[in-house]
Amino acid sequence: MNDKKRAFLATVLTVFAFVTLIAGCGSSEPGPGDPGWIDSERLLNADNELENWMSLGRDFQQQHYSPADLINTDNVHDLGLAWEYDARTPRGRVNRGLEAIPIVVDGIMYTSGAWSIVYALDARTGEEVWTYDPQVDGSFARAECCDIVNRGVQVWKGRVYVATFDGYLVALDARSGLVLWRVDTLTDRTRGYSITGAPQIAGNIVVIGNSGADFGVRGYITAYDLTTGAEEWRFFMVPGDPDNGYEHPEMEMAAETWDPDSDWESGGGGTAWGQFAYDPHLNLLYIGTGNSTPYPIWFRSPSGGDNLFLASVLAINPDTGALVWYYQTTPGEIWDYTVTQNLVLADLEIDGSSRQVLMVAPKNGFLYVLDRETGELLTADNFVRVTWATHIDLDSGRPVLTEQGNYEDEPKWVFPWDIGAHSWQQMSYSPDTELVYIPATDAGMLYTSYDEYSFKPGEWNVGIYYLADSLKSDLLIARDPVTQEEIWSVKLSGVGNGGVLSTGGNLVFQGNANGNFVAHRADTGEILHQIPTGTGIMAAPITYVIDGEQYVAVMAGFGGALLDYFVEENAAATYENYGRILAFKLNGTDVPLPPKRIIPPITEPPVRSTTVESIEDGGQLYGKYCAVCHGGIGGERMSLFPSLIRMASNTHGLFNQILLEGLYEPNGMANWSDILTAEDAGAIHDYLVSEQESAWRAQENLN
């Protein structure tokens, strides 16, 4: 046999062996010692495995804290880059945000990115082990309020669970990334549902919720068998039309808090898209629910009512799907004050007794501490400026409302704004300092109600105008959850700063929208070290130890609700905003900065035969359907979506194909032919050509 034949045979045998291995991985059941093997015993003993980060919040308490202290206040100034992985958006021109929290087990990092892609990486080097692309349906980009993001996976007993933006829950083999099962979680694919949140393991089930309340959907969570993907139960967050009956007893109870003649067609909202928690000792699954559809209760439930279970924390028995207790933070919710922020479990001493508590800092500006066994409210106070309520009555558990919060008859400036005093970016609790660390925003908004409202399929169905918001100030706040005393706060630059990690090294880590990765002293807030990355960071960091060396890692990439509206201080205004996974260690190197952002010049637009009426009509249509992403009427703003007054000649030629035929739908620019006619598209095009003509002439005159 000659050398060429030997080489060919060796190649064939190698490929055959690899395919056989992968096939075996896909067909045999994983067991202890296999990649991705996390079980209850390991998770309950997470403090004994500092080399791992085994849940979104590290352990079952979801505190976003690690006892690891090899990196500490004495040496954190030596922290630098260990490795970087390129996780840029694979589809279209828009680099989407990265919001996931990685999971690390036995040297492998599992995480997710834009378009629900899953990555398995070597946690020491960042080398790729495998990736999984679920090929999300691009038409679902129409159903995103806040970017095509994914907030993480769960890893359990050799499987990686991920929910896709277009509504599927998928179980992957942790060894290979091969699909083990895939189920459709959506009850109605004609509505504006999507999924951006991570699943939650609770006993023998995996649970997933959904997003889409701003478009008019009815929120729910669904539980599936971990091994087979078979549906076990479903829990709706708000009732449907009582004339159609109730899916489970809790809906009959909830319906009593709604007007019988509510606007059932709008769905009601209440979607659960945040970070859940599960207490294996109490066998309770904790869910935070979302905002209303539409926001104004005078359209949604005209006679008023608490409108359960909007803006609530629910404790559910995962074996049966039955409600054990609930606490509603914002009865009759009208401000988009979701409770989809991360839920943190801890044991605190309150009034001389040890209490098992759940802590949450929702959008509404109050930090709540609840008994997680009973739902009893223990403490609550505002952590930023709040004008919709004066305080929380600890006896009734209800907010004491102000007239300033009621915008039914006239516009009102209300604090916090709709993005919230605390959005989805994770807060942390350190049992060392006994403080919570909240990434907060002090901002208000002019809430202005529609005069009339009716549900419109495929459109935003919030019932308010977005006319103005106040100056915004992001803060990192350290607060005692028992006394509700603020211990320290640090003002941050930019808007949309990242989630938080606290560690046993007396450190708090946070990535910022301005592209810095920052280490604070946990007890005082003093900034000890800043690492410029050139990439805005929204996600919370994690930490893990390999062979005696501690790493701190974070998903970097700006986006989310501010993808289309950010400020000059944000790194995305200066640098290309592509996704990266960054891992740091002591004595690491500098982080390479991305290339500078280049804004293309405005070119001379094509000549079109237009009328004043067509341009005016097009401007109104553009403002209603396009400006939310592409920029405001009469100019531009900081947006990572393409500016349509900078269209090239070939884009003008394809305008109707893009808008009405879905030419760019795979890239996230969906088809609008269900709402817009050819005449509408022509009017929008006339308006954009007129705007581009004016902007081009101004540019040429300036030059």
φ, ψ dihedrals at 17, nearest 5°: -65, -40
The catalytic site residues sit at 336
Output the DSSP codes for 635-668.
S--S-SSPPGGG--HHHHHTHHHHHHH-TTGGGT
* 8 A C-beta contact, residue 653 and residue 608: no
CA distance 222 to 183: 11
Strand 500-503 to strand 65-66: parallel, antiparallel, or no bridges (unpaired)? parallel
Output the DSSP codes for 14-68.
HHHHHHHHHHHHHHSPP-TTSTT---HHHHHTGGG-TT-B-STTSSTT---EE--
Bridge partners, residue 171, by sequence: 161, 181
CA distance 208 to 350: 33
- Residue appearing with tokens 């979506």: 641
Nearest to 113 by CA among 642, 578, 583, 669: 578
Q: Cα-atom radius of gyration of the chain, to the nearest Å?
A: 25
Output the DSSP codes for 272-302.
--S--EEETTTTEEEEE---EESS-HHHHST
- Residue appearing with tokens 């791992």: 52
CA distance 693 to 463: 34
φ, ψ dihedrals at 299, nearest 5°: -95, -35
* Three-state DSSP state, 517: strand
CA distance 514 to 57: 24
On the CB side of 330, CA atoms within 13 Å amount to 30
* 8 A C-beta contact, residue 449 and residue 416: no
List CB contacts of 7: < 8 A, sequence separation 6 or more: none
* Three-state DSSP state, 77: helix
* 8 A C-beta contact, residue 238 and residue 312: no
* 8 A C-beta contact, residue 207 and residue 223: yes
CA distance 162 to 182: 10
* 8 A C-beta contact, residue 185 and residue 208: yes
* 8 A C-beta contact, residue 413 and residue 404: yes
The b-or-e profile of 44-78 (16+ CB within 10 A means b, else e) is eebeebbbbbbbbbbbbbbbbbbbbbbbbbeebee
450 token code pair: 């529609």
CA distance 677 to 544: 54
